């Protein structure tokens, strides 16, 4: 019997509504500390919302394969807490003022308190994960955290510089796609599937994570501040060369390249406007090239799960890649 199709975002999240509500409850309970400022920061961050796409992937992979235990709720909260901790540290490193349309936590509590709150969140995530009594899960989460920290350090070293396409793809794997991959992998571990199936799930997560970040980077260049919830072209202002920018720099004239490099180096639009950069990107079809690459990753993700059992959870995983590459925010 064919599984029902997922037609839109509402269908996707309605399928997981009860489980995601449980994860939200767990998240709120697990970010309470007897040190009041940690609880305040944790609640503020949780209140910032977000799509909760990462725990959703963990739920879908485990439920698709027949797992119905409480471990998916616990680990869903774990991955969202880890993701939240990375956002706290990212905002401090990037000196961000806005996160999801609200003042970033570091503007409210200061860098010192937020660094320590982020550290506490990481440790709390591992404390919860230990409840699964599975060293394999802990090993995966430790490897994930190391790769994310390494990615942040590598990015800091490359700020303001021209980097290669390969260097950029490695960065976005470490900073974004690795967590997507881990969410899918953890779902497979909970369901007790074979190592080969776990790796297919992991590849699906990696591929949609890469697509997700590439689209995010394009939107950073093209969407409005109202849609983004932060200033446009934030990546360029922070000295980060993303895929469309790298594509253009490999093809443009020396004068055009100099304009882009000046923004990256100065971390500001001094004598060069956002429109000037967009004009260069459009001239060399660089935005289209980046979106095409995101679509290729999304297509690869679909191939990764084509042999898994057909049910409503798989239907949601089939729908997700297209949603990720076609979204406008």
**What is the CATH number for 118?**
1.10.600.10
Average pLDDT over residues 18-45: 93
Distances (CA, A) of 18 to 23, 24, 70, 232, 317: 9, 10, 12, 35, 18
- Residue 128 domain-assigned (yes or no): yes
Overall number of domains in the chain: 1
Of 86, 264, 308, the closest CA to residue 316 belongs to 308
Counting Cα atoms < 13 Å in the Cβ hemisphere of 82 gives: 31
Average pLDDT over residues 196-216: 98
Host domain of residue 221: 9-326
Alpha carbon distance 281, 299 (integer Å): 24
pLDDT for 230 equals 73
Using the structure block, give the residue that is written with the tokens 């500390």. 33
When pLDDT is cut at 50, 70 and 90, the band that residue 90 belongs to is confident
In this predicted model, what pLDDT tens digit does every residue of 301-324 receive, in sequence order? Answer: 999 999 999 999 999 999 999 999
Query: Which DSSP symbol is given to 173?
Result: I
What does the CA dihedral 232, 181, 15, 49 come to, rounded to 10 degrees?
-40
Average pLDDT over residues 67-88: 94
DSSP string, 202-259: HHHHHHHHHHHHHHHHHHHHHS-HHHHTS-TTHHHHTT---HHHHHHHTTS-HHHHHH
3-state DSSP assignment of residue 102: strand
The answer to whether 70 and 63 have CB atoms below 8 angstroms apart is: no
The answer to whether 140 and 182 have CB atoms below 8 angstroms apart is: yes
> Could you tell me which residues come within 8 angstroms of residue 28 by beta carbon, excluding any fewer than 6 positions away?
43, 46
Looking at the predicted structure, is the pLDDT value of residue 98 above 90? no
- Residue 222 domain-assigned (yes or no): yes
Looking at the predicted structure, is the pLDDT value of residue 3 above 70? no
Average pLDDT over residues 190-213: 98
Distances (CA, A) of 210 to 105, 120, 176, 316: 27, 28, 7, 18
When pLDDT is cut at 50, 70 and 90, the band that residue 1 belongs to is very low
When pLDDT is cut at 50, 70 and 90, the band that residue 95 belongs to is confident
Burial class from Cβ neighbours inside 10 Å (0-12, 13-18, 19+) for residue 27 reads buried
- Residue 34 domain-assigned (yes or no): yes
- Residue 1 domain-assigned (yes or no): no
Q: Give the 3-state secondary structure of 7-28.
A: CCHHHHHHHCHHHHHHHHHHHH
pLDDT for 2 equals 52
- Tell me which of 2 and 93 has the higher pLDDT: 93
- Residue 2 domain-assigned (yes or no): no
């Amino acid at each position: 019997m064919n599984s029902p199709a997922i037609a839109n975002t509402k269908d996707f999240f309605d399928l997981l509504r009860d489980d995601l509500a449980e994860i939200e409850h767990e998240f709120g309970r697990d970010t309470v500390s007897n040190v009041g400022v940690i609880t305040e920061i944790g609640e503020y961050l949780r209140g910032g919302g977000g799509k909760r796409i990462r725990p959703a992937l963990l739920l879908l992979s485990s439920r698709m394969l027949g797992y119905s235990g409480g471990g998916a709720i616990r680990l869903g909260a774990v991955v969202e807490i880890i993701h939240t901790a990375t956002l706290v540290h990212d905002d401090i490193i990037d000196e961000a003022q806005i996160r999801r349309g609200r003042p970033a936590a570091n503007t409210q509590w200061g860098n010192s308190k937020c660094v320590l709150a982020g550290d506490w969140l990481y440790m709390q995530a591992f404390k919860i994960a230990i409840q699964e009594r599975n060293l394999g899960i802990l090993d995966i989460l430790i490897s994930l955290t190391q790769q994310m920290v390494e990615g942040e350090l590598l990015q800091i070293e490359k700020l303001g510089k021209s980097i290669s396409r390969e260097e950029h793809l490695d960065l976005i794997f470490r900073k974004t796609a690795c967590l997507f991959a881990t969410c899918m992998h953890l779902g497979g571990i909970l369901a007790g599937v074979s190592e080969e199936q776990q790796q297919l799930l992991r590849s699906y997560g990696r591929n949609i994570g890469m697509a997700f970040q590439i689209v995010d980077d394009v939107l950073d260049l093209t969407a409005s501040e109202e849609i983004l919830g932060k200033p446009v072209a934030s990546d360029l202002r922070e000295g980060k060369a993303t895929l469309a920018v790298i594509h253009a720099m490999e093809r443009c004239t020396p004068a055009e390249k100099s304009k882009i490099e000046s923004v990256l180096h100065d971390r500001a639009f001094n004598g060069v406007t956002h429109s000037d950069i967009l004009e260069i990107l459009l001239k060399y079809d660089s935005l289209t090239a980046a979106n095409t690459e995101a679509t290729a990753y999304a297509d690869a993700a679909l191939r990764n799960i084509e042999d898994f059992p057909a049910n409503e959870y798989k239907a949601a995983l089939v729908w997700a890649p297209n949603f990720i590459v076609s979204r406008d925010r």
